[in-house]
A and B are shown apart, each in its own frame.
Chain A
Amino acid sequence: MDILINIVTSFIAAAGFGIIFNAPREALWKCGAVGMMGWMAYFILTLQGIGEVPATVAAAFMIAVISQVFSRVYKAPIIIYIVSGIIPLVPGGTAYNAMRSFVTNDYSEALAFAAKAFMISGSIAMGIVLSEVISQIMKQSRLKRIG
C-alpha cells in the first residue's frame, strides 16, 4: 500500500513540477514518469536498508539515464526531463532538520545533518556525472563502429 501511494504521489509531484517549470504539455507525463522511477529507486533501496547517500546516487543515475533515453527518442533537450526527476531527491528534510538544530543551538546535531545534506547533494551530482560519462562512452563507441 505504501509503495502504491509513493508511485502515485511521486508521479503527480514530478508532473506538477513540469507545470511549474512550463514544460511542454506533451512532455508532462514523461516528467512524471522520470520522477516516479527515480523516486521508486530511492524508496525501494532505502527500504532495503541501504544508506541514503548510495540510494541517492543510484536514483540520480537512473533519472539521468531515463532522461537521456527520452531526450534521444523525442529529440528534446535533456534538461526538460531531468529537472522534475531530481527535485524529490533534493535533501529538503535533512536541510530543514539541520537548520532547526542550528536555531535551537544544538550545533553538533546541526552539523551532522548539514554534512548529510551536503553528501546527498553531492551524490545527486555524482549520479548525473556518471550517466553523462556513460552516454559519452556510448557515443564514442558508436562513432567507431560507423568509422
Chain B
Amino acid sequence: MEIEDMEQYLEEQYDIMDVCLLAGKIMLESGAETYRVEDTMMRIAKNYGIKESHSYVTPTGIMFSIETEEPTKTKLIRISDRTTDLKKVMLVNSTSRRIANGELDVPQAYRILKRIYKDDETYSLKTRIAAAAISSGCFLMMFQGSWADFIPAIIIGGLGFASVVYVHDLVLIKFFSEFMAALVIGLLAAGAVATGLGQELDKIIIGSVMPLVPGLLITNAVRDLIAGHFISGLSKGAEAFLTAFAIGSGIAVVVTML
C-alpha cells in the first residue's frame, strides 16, 4: 500500500512539472516577458503545493527544477520558434489565475494548457495583412503625409508585410526576410513616386515600414532589463537592433539606386 502511495506521489510530481513547463513554453513562444514566464511557472508549482521551485528562462530555453522529498528533479526544454500571439499569453495567464483559486486539478490544467497550445492563431493571415495595410496608411497620416499618398501606403504596407511572412516561409532566416520586405517596400515606393501614383517617397516608406518595426521586442527588452533579466533583455535588444538594421539596409539599397 505504501509503495502504491509513493508511486502515485511520484507520478503527480511529474505532472505538476509538465503543467509548469507547458505553461512556460506557451508563454515564451508567444512573446511574453521572461520574468512573467518564470513567475507563472513558479506560481503554478507553489499553488500545487511544491515548497520550492527554481526556474531559469532565456529566450531560447527553459530550465526548471522542483524540490520535493525525492531528489530534486530538473528539466530543460529548448525553445526554437518564437512568434507573437498575445491571446495565448492571456489565456495561460488566466489559467494560472484559476489554478491559484484552486479551480483546476493537475490533469485538468494540463488538458486546458494543451488545448491552448494547439489553438490556431486568432486571425487569419489575410486579416493580419489587411490590418498591416490599413495601419500603414494610418501611420502615413500620423506622420503628416498627404491624402494623395494614403492609398499607395496602404497597398505597399500590405505587400511589405505579406512579403516578410512569405519569404520567412521560404528561408528561415528572420534577418533576410525583413531585409527582403524592406527592399520590396522601397522598390514599390520608388516605383509609385516615379509613375506619379505617389508624391512623397520618404513618407510612404516610413508609413509602410511601420508594421515591420520590432515594437514587442523593444518593449520586452526594456521590461526584462527592469526586472533584472539581463541576458534576456540584452538578447531581445540585440534581436530588435538586428531587425532595425535589416529594415534599414533594405531601404538603403533602394535609396542608393535613386
Q: Which of A22, A24, A80, A86 contacts B215 (CB 8 A)?
A: A86
Contact B139 A13 (CB under 8 A): yes
Binary CB contact string for chain B from 8 to 52 against chain A (1 if under 8 A, 0 otherwise) = 000000000000000000000001110010000000000000000
Give the distance in Å from the alpha carbon of A43 to the alpha carbon of B144 in the complex. 11
Contact A124 B218 (CB under 8 A): yes
Name B193-251 residues within 8 Å CB distance of A: 202, 205-206, 209-211, 213, 215-216, 218-220, 222-223, 226, 244, 248, 251
Give the distance in Å from the alpha carbon of A129 to the alpha carbon of B220 in the complex. 12
Apart from A22-B128, A77-B90, what are 16 other A-B pairs with CB-CB below 8 Å?
A: A9-B138, A17-B215, A22-B84, A23-B122, A27-B86, A27-B90, A75-B94, A82-B219, A83-B219, A90-B215, A90-B218, A96-B209, A99-B251, A124-B218, A128-B219, A128-B226
A-side residues, CB < 8 A to B, are 5-6, 9-10, 12-13, 15-25, 27, 39, 43, 75-77, 79-80, 82-84, 86-88, 90, 92-93, 95-97, 99-100, 102-104, 121, 124-125, 128-129, 132
Main secondary structure of the interface of B (DSSP, over half): helix
Binary CB contact string for chain B from 133 to 176 against chain A (1 if under 8 A, 0 otherwise) = 01101110111000000000000000001000000000000000
B255 within 8 A of A: yes
Contact A24 B222 (CB under 8 A): no
A–B pairs, 26, beta carbons within 8 Å: A9-B142, A10-B142, A12-B134, A16-B134, A19-B131, A20-B128, A20-B161, A22-B84, A22-B88, A24-B90, A79-B32, A80-B90, A83-B219, A84-B215, A86-B218, A88-B139, A90-B215, A92-B213, A93-B202, A93-B206, A95-B244, A99-B248, A100-B255, A128-B223, A129-B222, A132-B226
B132 within 8 A of A: yes
Question: B residues within 8 A CB of A79?
Answer: 31-33, 36, 86, 89, 216, 219-220, 223
B-side residues, CB < 8 A to A, are 31-33, 36, 84-90, 93-94, 97, 121-123, 127-128, 131-132, 134-135, 137-139, 141-143, 161, 202, 205-206, 209-211, 213, 215-216, 218-220, 222-223, 226, 244, 248, 251-252, 255-256
Give the distance in Å from the alpha carbon of A39 to the alpha carbon of B141 in the complex. 12
Contact B139 A20 (CB under 8 A): no
Contact B206 A92 (CB under 8 A): yes
Question: A residues within 8 A CB of B223?
Answer: 79, 128, 132
Contact B84 A21 (CB under 8 A): yes
Give the distance in Å from the alpha carbon of A84 to the alpha carbon of B215 in the complex. 8
**With contacts A20-B131, A83-B216 known, is A13 near B138, CB below 8 A?**
yes
Question: B residues within 8 A CB of A102?
Answer: 252
Contact A19 B226 (CB under 8 A): no
